[in-house]
């Protein structure tokens, strides 16, 4: 997308044409609209968080608490360029689609609709190990647009290597290793309903075509033997280096100590994230962890961020606190539920448009100009 595409007027005219009223441009309000169309199981899996939801609320509250200080008369460019390069990937703005599994819960086309929408806007798509469509299907739908791959490090090393090989062969350029979900968090909405998508066979598409799954009687039981991996340690990272020749990013870093360890282990990047509050209820807000981590390691590796990004202003705040780019999670699934591919495109275009306008009105021509001084306090 060119910056000119989201110049007010021109941009809004394009966006409003044919748009269903549920697809509001108030991105923070999308959740309520999506709640009305999601099935009870999908709603229970996607929207709530771990435990009492206190970390998920803290994520949003941390964004609410930080305030932008708009600056005037700074000669902001009329045609702004938000594009950037992150770990060798060009993107129209510092925004990626977060890895999310089981997207067919939100819409029958699931990941295929999302990757097509991401490709249409040019926003990188991160393919989840727990996707309902496999590497090959997602790559065929996404074409040449940028894609990264998110690994759930399985207990079975042959399966791990087969994932890395297929990810490379299907054009994924960066490996994102998720560390905070070696077990699923305590999620009352799912527990009370007795529902998990995997037990119904959804979200194991990548596994089904892996070698050790050939001929097994019960793939779900086989999956259950290799997904939980709480024994994972820093010593397991060199194995990934041996089998992946591109950048490696660790997702789920929440402490400066772990951020330093990531740098010492030669990682290329981290995602400061608490998994949208879906794992450790009671964990600190991801945005509150960000500035200390960026300060400690920002010059040694690429610091990315997710958890609680809902609006363009939120993107500004995360960038100001040291993130090079942000990943957006649930809002993408809300767009998917409300309008399939068009719904996801809507969400991404709105997010980029609102980011652009918020930046400009705050006195900045490009995301790289932001720093802690852009925020109050
Ligand atoms: C339904 C759903 C499925 C998810 N699946 C994965 C996954 O497979 N791998 C992963 O690393 N993170 C997964 N996540 C976490 C996201 O990547 C991201 O960290 C989180 O959604 C960010 O918070 P937000 O939803 O507040 O934007 C999932 C999140 C949701 C809502
Ligand atoms: O639900 C999640 O947050 C998640 O990360 C996940 C884990 C395993 C399979 C699918 C999604």
Question: Atom 3, ligand 2: which residue's CA is nearest?
Answer: 278
Q: Distance from the CA of 328 to the center of ligand 1, in angstroms?
A: 9
Say what the pLDDT of residue 230 is: 98
Q: Distance from the CA of 372 to the center of ligand 1, in angstroms?
A: 27
Say what the pLDDT of residue 4 is: 47
Q: Which residues of the chain have pLDDT under 50?
A: 1, 3-4, 8-10
Say what the pLDDT of residue 1 is: 45
Which two structure tokens, joined as six digits, stand for 167?
């990810």
H or E stretch at 345? helix 330-362
Q: Which ligand is nearest to the CA of 203?
A: 2
Q: Is 151 helix (H, G, I), strand (E, B) or coil?
A: strand
Instruction: Calculate ∠ Cα 368-373-377, nearest 5°.
Output: 145
Q: Does residue 101's CB lie within 6 angstroms of at least one atom of ligand 2?
A: yes
ipTM: 0.99
Q: Counting Cβ atoms within 10 Å, is residue 30 exposed (0-12), middle (13-18) or buried (19+)? A: buried
Q: Does residue 203's CB lie within 6 angstroms of at least one atom of ligand 2?
A: yes
275 a catalytic residue: yes
Say what the pLDDT of residue 377 is: 78
Which domains, ranges and CATH numbers included, belong to the chain?
Answer: 5-376 (3.20.20.70)
Question: Atom 21, ligand 1: which residue's CA is nearest?
Answer: 329
Say what the pLDDT of residue 11 is: 58
Q: Does residue 110's CB lie within 6 angstroms of at least one atom of ligand 1?
A: no
Say what the pLDDT of residue 20 is: 82
Please give the Cα distance from 263 to 301 (Å, whole number): 6
| In the chain, % of residues over pLDDT 70 | 95
């Amino acid at each position: 997308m060119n910056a000119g595409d989201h110049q007010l007027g021109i941009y809004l005219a394009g966006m409003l044409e044919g748009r269903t009223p549920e697809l509001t441009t108030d991105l923070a309000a999308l959740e309520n609209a999506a709640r009305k169309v999601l099935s009870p199981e999908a709603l229970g899996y996607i929207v709530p968080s771990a435990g009492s939801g206190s970390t998920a609320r803290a994520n949003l509250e941390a964004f609410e608490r930080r305030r932008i200080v708009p600056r005037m008369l700074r000669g902001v460019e009329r045609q702004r360029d938000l594009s950037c390069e992150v770990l060798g990937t060009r993107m129209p703005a510092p925004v990626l689609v977060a890895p999310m599994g089981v997207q067919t819960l939100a819409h029958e086309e699931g990941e295929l609709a999302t990757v097509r929408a991401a490709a249409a806007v040019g926003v990188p798509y991160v393919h989840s190990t727990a996707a309902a469509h496999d590497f090959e299907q997602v790559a065929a739908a996404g074409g040449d647009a940028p894609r990264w791959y998110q690994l759930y490090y399985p207990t079975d090393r042959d399966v791990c290597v087969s994932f890395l090989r297929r990810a490379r062969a299907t054009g994924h350029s960066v490996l994102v290793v998720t560390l905070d979900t070696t077990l699923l968090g305590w999620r009352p909405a799912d527990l009370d309903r007795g529902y998990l998508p995997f037990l119904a066979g959804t979200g194991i598409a990548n596994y089904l075509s892996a070698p050790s799954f050939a001929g097994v009687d019960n793939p779900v039981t086989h999956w259950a033997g290799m997904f939980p991996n709480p024994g994972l340690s820093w010593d397991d990272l060199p194995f990934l280096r041996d089998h992946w020749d591109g950048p490696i990013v660790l997702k789920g870093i929440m402490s400066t100590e772990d951020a330093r360890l990531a740098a010492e282990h030669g990682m290329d990047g981290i995602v400061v994230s608490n998994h949208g509050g879906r794992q450790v209820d009671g964990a600190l807000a991801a945005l509150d962890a960000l500035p200390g981590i960026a300060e400690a390691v920002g010059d040694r590796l690429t610091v990315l961020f997710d958890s609680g990004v809902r609006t363009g202003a939120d993107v500004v705040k995360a960038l100001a606190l040291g993130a090079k780019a942000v990943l957006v999670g649930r809002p993408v699934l809300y767009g998917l539920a409300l309008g399939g591919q068009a719904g996801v495109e809507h969400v991404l275009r709105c997010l980029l448009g609102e980011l652009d306008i918020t930046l400009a009105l705050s006195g900045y021509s490009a995301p790289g100009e932001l720093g802690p001084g852009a925020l109050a306090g």
